[in-house]
Structure 1
Amino acid sequence: MFSIYILTYNEELDIAACIESAQLSDDIIVVDSCSTDRTTEIASRYPVRVVRHPFETHGKQRTWMLRSIQAKHEWVYILEADERMTPELFQECLEATNSDRNIGYYAAERVMFMNRWIRRSTQYPRYQLRLFRKDRVWFDDYGHTEREVCDGPTGFLKETYPHYTCSKGLSRWIEKHNRYSSDEAAETLHQLREGSVNWKHLFWGSSEVERRRALKDLSLRLPLRPLVRFLYMYFILGGILDGKAGFAWCTLQAFYEYLILLKVDELKQQSPPPSPVQLSVESRPENA
């Protein structure tokens, strides 16, 4: 068996369905970043533990959670409120925890948008570290999100998890990504000044995760990036085959990239430019 952590902040619309999908586990822990809505009230109706902790950054919140909240089991799974556990994924996770081959496993998301799976333009499969041994993983900050640090080998699960990225409505998506773009802009500016493209990982990376990270570092340096992203997602990846929802998704992603570029230009005019960590502290968490 494995424990399940659920990260929340103002998730009253999603938390019930998320907990109900996770009840295959006998140990569910809701880690709330001091929500101002009814998230914790709703969560408390279920046989789960609810722990509140002020949000600093995504990486720090996850690391604090792993180090400070005792879980019943050695293996844990991180679930965000707009994601769901499925019986098939749960069973595969159980089988993975019985093996000593890896200390963690990546799972691919199925982005659900406008009532359909956006498979092509979301670069499926996009992997996130979800299942791992609690004592062998911690998290650092990266842009508006986080990156895992693993003390040991990792593998990949075959089953996927649904991610209802726009379950709160389009206006909430825009509000959330406006906030995210500030963190992304700070990280982008830092990467442009201090980082570089890992060409070895880009072409010969040992995993999909390594190749995708190198591709992102390259994309930061492309001219007309928002337009390039739209054309790449819509025509090369096949977003055009995802119908109306695919067109809307690709347009929103291009808009997000343009917003980041505008904020990068804004940061360049500031002296000194704020660090990614400073902007992350100012932001409130919202699960994408």
Structure 2
Amino acid sequence: MPGDDRGLVACVLTLNEERRIGRAIGSLTGAVDRVVVVDSESTDRTCAIAQAAGAAVVRRAFTGYADQRNWALGEIASRFGGRWIFTMDADEWLSGELHRELAAFDPRQCAADVVLVRRRTRFAGRVLRHGGFGEIWLARLVRAGATRYEDRGVNEHLVIPRDARVSRMHGWLEHGDVDSWTAYIDKHNRYSTLEAQARLAGQQGGRGPSVLGAWRDPTLRRRFLRQRVYERLPARPALRFLTSYFALGGFLDGRAGFDRALFEAWQELCIDLKADELRRRGP
């Protein structure tokens, strides 16, 4: 639909992403009608770079990942006329194939409410093809008003309603590499704190994903197995490493596969230690 305004708007959340936001917006240019950056009050050049690349910038104080994303969905629909919204993080970018699929996307011929895309991860200079990171399907293109993000502190995802119609795109969404080990470790240390809080809240008061929801939604399926099976197993950090590196073939990715499996085990240990600390402290 060249020249037509399809109401297809991309949303990118940012906080001090001056090194990566240009790549993200550049990959979206020509594939969507408009790019909107929702910035959590960055103190670097993120907003200036985004505007120079042609994106609209909306600044809002960070109120939590899920709340920020849900606010962004509503803002884009009401303020920017987004009838279809593609969500992306600043450390992600479209492959050539996914760019072509989005550019050719015709809402008038789409019967779905949610479109899944598959993401692959780069780590230590290598695309991971094994270890549980090779192909992850995520809900990223949604009809406005069809869904919302789950209320979760971290690793939040769009939840697919039971009556939603789902389709897929097959081009890759690329997930960025490590820019700085110090920044990477600091970020995942923060994530482990949020994950410990979310895990404890789920154990104390949440039922977690239903069987039906897990069957329909790849993200919820992984979370169902995690909450109902994995989190009840002993020695999870060691199991995380053994599963990723051996059972899921991480060793086939060479040194990067070993390092990533070890990093995941360390992350799991941090989550366990912090969750135990929160239990001792009480509400």
| Alignment match, 1:219 | 230
Distance 1:208 1:245, change over 3 A: same
**Counterparts of 1:127 and 1:96, CA distance in 2:** 21
- SS of the aligned residue for 1:148 comes to coil
RMSD: 2.1
| Alignment match, 2:3 | none
Q: Greater RCO between the two (CA within 8 Å, min separation 6)? A: 1
Aligned: 1:8 with 2:14: yes
**Counterparts of 1:268 and 1:221, CA distance in 2:** 16
Deviation at 1:195, TM superposition (A): 4.3
| Alignment match, 2:28 | 22
Aligned: 1:39 with 2:50: no
Is the Cα contact below 8 Å between 2:125 and 2:177 reproduced in 1?
no
| Alignment match, 2:185 | 174
| Alignment match, 1:51 | 58
| Sequence identity (%) | 34
Is the Cα contact below 8 Å between 1:105 and 1:156 reproduced in 2?
yes
**Counterparts of 2:26 and 2:266, CA distance in 1:** 34
* Matched residue type, 2:184: W
List per-residue Cα deviations over 1:190-237 (Å, max 9, x = no partner).
Answer: 2223345779469x8245334212111121111100100100000011
Is the Cα contact below 8 Å between 2:9 and 2:82 reproduced in 1?
yes
Aligned: 1:240 with 2:251: yes
Aligned: 1:102 with 2:108: no
Q: TM-score, normalised by structure 2?
A: 0.88
Deviation at 1:68, TM superposition (A): 2.0
**Counterparts of 1:197 and 1:50, CA distance in 2:** 35
Is the Cα contact below 8 Å between 1:33 and 1:54 reproduced in 2?
yes
Deviation at 1:138, TM superposition (A): 1.7
Q: TM-score, normalised by structure 1?
A: 0.86
* Matched residue type, 1:9: L
Aligned: 1:164 with 2:176: yes
Distance 1:196 1:124, change over 3 A: farther
User: Unpaired runs of 5+ in structure 2?
Assistant: 1-5
Is the Cα contact below 8 Å between 1:60 and 1:140 reproduced in 2?
no
Q: Superposition pairs for residues 103-252 of structure 1, below 5 Å?
A: 103-151=113-161, 152-166=164-178, 168-195=179-206, 200=211, 205-217=215-227, 218-252=229-263
List per-residue Cα deviations over 1:110-155 (Å, max 9, x = no partner).
Answer: 1011121111013432122111112222223224132323452222
Distance 1:161 1:88, change over 3 A: same
| Alignment match, 1:81 | 90
| Count of aligned residue pairs for this structure pair | 270
* Matched residue type, 1:92: E
List per-residue Cα deviations over 1:66-102 (Å, max 9, x = no partner).
Answer: 1123234411111111100233113323336343421
Deviation at 1:11, TM superposition (A): 0.3
